[in-house]
Structure 1
Amino acid sequence: MGGQVGDIGVIENDTCSVEISSVTKFGGNKFIHKGVVANGSLSVSDTVNTLVNKSTRLSTCRNHTATHLLQAALRSVLGSHIEQAGSYVNKDRLRFDFTHFEAVSREDLQKVEKIVNDKILEAIPVEIAEMPLEQARKLGAMALFGEKYGEVVRVVKAGDFSVEFCGGTHVSNTSQIGAFKIVSEAGVAAGTRRIEALTGAGAIAYYEQQQQLIDSVSSIIKATPKNIISKVEALLAENKKLSSELEALKSKLSGSAADDMLSQAEQIGQIKVLTAFVKDIDMNSLRDMGDKLKDKLGECALVLASDFGQKVSFVVMCTDAAVKSGVKAGDIVKKAASVCGGGGGGRPTMAQAGAKDVSKIPEALELAKTEIKGILS
């Protein structure tokens, strides 16, 4: 039945009531009804009445007929190569898999959605008829690829727009669908795409959620729904400008801080050794500071640490002369980071690491200095 789930409802008689949650067809014309006995008991050969949940069936019908309109709209927009590769229809939503070689563009999805909603507004009668297979083919009825059909088939027709082989339930007029909204499009396999969509009350609820989101964002950024895009664009431009100014200020401050640290460097042979704890700067700024210090110190080995965001960052830099003397940045940073419960690595001339325990930064820097001095001595 085109991926349609079974009805739900109640099976009852004077002594028993069973609430049915699903119906599954098997072995030809046999059906399994799954449910919970609400009261009484049921025995083989009991005579019962079956009451279908009309609201659930109507919602499912909306989604099923909309699936037919969707397939026709996809073929109209994307081409006749579109074929159904699977579907799932229940009361809440529809899912349609189809053959296509690429993602469907936003513009094409909008075209497809508009076509389906136009057909809903046209209030097209939906006709269901059983007929000989050859007659159905002459009508141009769409068949499910690989499906085998008998001599007599059931055809569902929505005007001249959609004609399909189908055994499921449908609305009697497209206007009963109410509204149609595509909520997602994605690939599920090579050459197969999937669209999920909502109809009726589900589509209306979706639009209401989107409106609430727009209203919330408008309130936060002090805009109206009409100028929300221009306001967001202006905010992004302002943020970009401020970020650029902030980076320039950070660079200036790191340069100033680097100048203050130069006097802390200790000369060991031909190499200057510097270790420093720089409060609250990020890794990028720490590297920038290291570059400035290295340029001003000449031949050196330096270890910098920071506690930005309550996380430890280490940067170790060694000039070629320091490396030739045996001091390798990657080795030093690993030992320093391990003290703070972290790890890292890099090249002999430059390495970085992250860790968690900011309280151990002074201890880690002292270890790094001792290691470097031991190598150079």
Structure 2
Amino acid sequence: RHWAGSGDVATEQVWFDIRDKVGATDFLGYGTVRAEGQVMALVVDGKTADKATAGQQVAVIANQTPFYGESGGQVGDAGGMFTAAGCEVEVADTQKKLGDLFVHLGRVTKGTLSVGDAVDLSVDSERRDAVRANHSATHLLHEALRRRLGKHVTQKGSLVAPDRLRFDISQPRAVNREDIVAVEAEVNARVREDAEVVTRLMTPDEAMAEGAMALFGEKYGETVRVVGMGREGNRFYSTELCGGTHVGRTGEIGSFRIIGEGAVAAGVRRIEAVTGAGAVEHQQRQEALLAEAASALKATPADLPGRIAALVEERRRQEREIADLRRALATGGGAGTAPPVKQVEGIDFSGRVLEGVPAKDLKPMADDIKTSLGSGVVALVAVNDGKASLVVGVTDDLTARLDAVALVRAGAAAVGGKGGGGRPDMAQAGGPEGGKAGDALAAIEAALAG
């Protein structure tokens, strides 16, 4: 939705000037997606212009329009403008400036558009229908969340686009899977109800008296639009103040599917969802992934949970066995040879460089070697992806004289690391220069001798 200079201060001043000259735009889009209008002003390259020719980006202001201008979280309409002389403008977006000036942003694709021209304005109805469905779904979602999670839930922001909806709510913790399933089922039940969506004009006080919810960040005038949908006796299931476009009946939403939930700020959660064809496409993608996974494991979809659980447990068992084998090799168990032990200032010292051993396995290995030493110091340096991980262990009888933290820091410095931490009997550190692992052992030995 490129519009050259639309955010410039100079360009923003243009809208004030145009508003003073031509007045507000009459919005017709609640009742139609096609209308006739007259071009009242054009903006090209951030400045007012008398005309725009083929290939130029242009902002068009008409006296009236069926195009919805982006506001309240709902994206602006797209579509086209046409003149009797054959000019065509492809409208990529519609913005609402100064509250009531509708600005059509697009490109002249054919002919020349001039101020004063009569134009046919045609909204992309398929796109509009998708946006309407998503917008109405946010109202049902809002009410379903409040009923499921509590009245503390209020809207903190939203995005209503043709392909998805995003809804931010006040909620101190994650919405769990059980609640998501329940909310999704509740919304779909209201969709299947196919109740009429009713829009009424009221004063703000009258709307509040009927239980309408005012939305986050919205400013309301003397008259407000109140949108009600779903029936519960003589009341609506959902009642909200809203200036957006909506479906005529809830059944037009088609279906509703929550596809994401997460945190966006402290105390604010974001729900992402799709409706109608988008929900069907999401379901089809999920089923394709399920079929692919089942094929890979040579199982039916129904058997997948059990097969996956068995594979995860087998993986864990193998990882435990591999860790045990690594420890046995490092400590000289099994068919391996015992790690070398040397005397340094009368203290037994065992140091070893280990290629490809995970850093998390070093401490258990050091504990085993300490046990086999009885009294002494062990230093292990693991090299993975060119980086070094170090662990130094000191047997309890020597901790009054030696500090594992000081020794590991000496080794870390040799491999480009800084610091290191732990206890007098066990400490760890790391460094980016795994190729100097041998130097780290030498540095630890030197510190021990020093």
* More displaced stretch, 128-137 vs 163-172: 128-137
Higher RCO (C-alpha under 8 Å, 6+ residues apart) = 1
Give the C-alpha shift of residue 43 in structure 1: 2.1
The reply on whether 1:272 has 2:343 as its aligned counterpart is no
Alpha-carbon distance in 2 for matches of 1:155, 1:176? 19
Q: Does 1:12 align with 2:88?
A: no
Structure 2 residue runs without a partner (length 5+): 1-70, 232-236
Structure 2 residue corresponding to 1:144, chosen from 215, 236, 242:
215
The TM-score normalised by the length of structure 1 is 0.82
Distance change >3 Å, CA 174–CA 293, structure 1 → 2: closer
| Rounded Cα–Cα distance in structure 1 between residues aligned with 2:318 and 2:261 | 37
- What aligned pairs does 1:15-26 form with structure 2 within 5 A after superposition? 15-26=86-97
Q: Which moved more, 1:363-372 or 1:39-48?
A: 363-372
Shift of 1:60: 0.7
1:118 equivalenced with 2:181 (yes/no):
no
Map Cα deviations across residues 91-124 of structure 1 (whole Å, 9 max, x no partner). Answer: 1222223344544332222222112111222222
The reply to whether residue 45 of structure 1 matches residue 121 of structure 2 is no
Mapped pair 1:204 → 2:289: no
Going from structure 1 to structure 2, the CA distance change for 1:158 and 1:310 (only over 3 Å counts) comes to: same
Separation in 2, partners of 1:62, 1:294 = 68
Report the identity percentage: 41
Counterparts in 2 of 1:304 and 1:87: CA distance versus 1, 3 Å: closer
Q: Which amino acid aligns with 2:82?
A: E
Structure 2 equivalent of residue 184 of structure 1: 260
The CA distance in 1 between the partners of 2:399 and 2:146, in whole Å, is 67
> Please, what TM-score do these two structures have when normalized by structure 2?
0.70
- Structure 2 counterpart of 1:158, one-letter code: M
AA at the equivalent of 1:230? G
1:266 and 1:133 mapped to 2: Cα distance?
A: 86
Cα distance in structure 1, aligned partners of 2:208 and 2:442: 85
2:162 maps to 1:91: yes
Q: Cα deviations across residues 218-241 of structure 1 (Å, max 9, x unaligned)?
A: 223332111111111222222233
C-alpha spacing 1:236/1:167, structure 2 compared with 1 (3 Å): same
Q: 1:331 to 1:53 in 2, by over 3 A?
A: same
In the alignment, is the contact (CA less than 8 A) between 1:254 and 1:288 conserved in 2?
no
Q: 1:291–1:32: structure 2 CA closer, same or farther, 3 Å change rule?
A: same
> Which residue of 2 is the match for residue 31 of structure 1?
102
Q: In 2, Cα distance between the equivalents of 1:121 and 1:333?
A: 66
Q: How big is the alpha-carbon RMSD for the aligned residues of Structure 1 and Structure 2?
A: 3.4
Letter matched to residue 174 of structure 1: T
Alpha-carbon distance in 2 for matches of 1:287, 1:80: 50
Change (3 A) 1:176 1:250: same
> Which deviates the most, 128-137 or 81-90?
128-137
Aligned residues: 372
Hey, what's the Cα distance between the residues in 2 that align with 1:95 and 1:174? 19
Deviations 1:243-265 (A, max 9, x none): 33333344433332599446x43
Residue range with higher mean Cα deviation, 195-204 or 77-86: 77-86
Deviation of 1:139 (Å) = 5.2
Partner amino acid, structure 2, of 1:30: L
Distance 2:256 2:446 in 1: 71
Alignment correspondent of 2:420: 345
The answer (yes or no) to whether the contact 1:344–1:352 under 8 Å persists in 2 is no
Do the aligned partners of residues 341 and 139 (structure 1) sit closer, same or farther apart at CA in structure 2, a change above 3 Å counting? closer
Shift of 1:20: 1.2
Shift of 1:214: 1.5
Secondary structure of the corresponding residue to residue 76 of structure 1: helix
> Is 1:281–2:352 an aligned residue pair?
no
Counterpart of 2:229, as a letter, is: A
What is the CA–CA distance in structure 2 between the aligned matches of 1:306 and 1:157, rounded to whole Å?
Answer: 65
1:40, 1:106 → 2: CA distance? Answer: 55
Residue 211 and residue 291 in structure 1: after superposition, are their counterparts in 2 closer, same or farther (change >3 A)?
same
Q: Spell out, residue by residue over 1:45-102, the C-alpha distance to the aligned partner (whole angstroms, 9 max, x if none).
A: 1221111111111111111111222223233333445443433212122222334454
Whole-Å separation in 2 of the counterparts to 1:372 and 1:133 = 79
Kept in 1: contact 2:230–2:250 (CA 8 A): no
Helix, strand or coil: the match of 1:5?
coil
1:3 is aligned, of 73, 85, 88, to 73
Structure 1 segment 297-308 matched on structure 2, within 5 A: 297-308=373-384
> Compared with structure 1, are the counterparts of its residues 321 and 227 closer, same or farther at alpha carbon in structure 2 (3 Å cutoff)?
closer
Structure 2 counterpart of 1:74, one-letter code: L
> Deviation of residue 135 (structure 1)?
6.2
Gaps of 5+ in 1: none
Query: For residue 59 of structure 1, what is the amino acid of its counterpart?
Result: A
Structure 2 CA distance for partners of 1:195 and 1:276, relative to 1, 3 Å: closer
1:222 equivalenced with 2:222 (yes/no)? no
Match of 1:173 among 241, 244, 249: 249
Instruction: Tell me the CA shift for residue 310 of structure 1.
Output: 5.2
1:24/1:367 Cα in 2 relative to 1: closer, same or farther (>3 Å)?
Answer: closer
Deviates further, 306-315 or 25-34: 306-315
Measured at CA, do residues 339 and 257 of structure 1 come closer, stay the same or move farther in structure 2, by a change above 3 Å? Answer: farther
The answer as to whether partners of 2:157 and 2:216 remain within 8 angstroms in 1 is no
Matched, 1:235 2:311: yes
Cα shift at 1:176: 1.6
**Partner amino acid, structure 1, of 2:309:** E
**1:286 CA displacement:** 4.0
Aligned with 1:4: secondary structure?
A: coil
Q: 1:359/1:205 Cα in 2 relative to 1: closer, same or farther (>3 Å)?
A: same
Report the AA paired with residue 267 of structure 1.
Q
Which of the two has greater helix per residue? 1
Question: Whole-Å Cα distance in 1 between the matches of residues 118 and 400 of structure 2?
Answer: 96
Instruction: Look up the SS of the partner of 2:94 in the other structure.
Output: strand
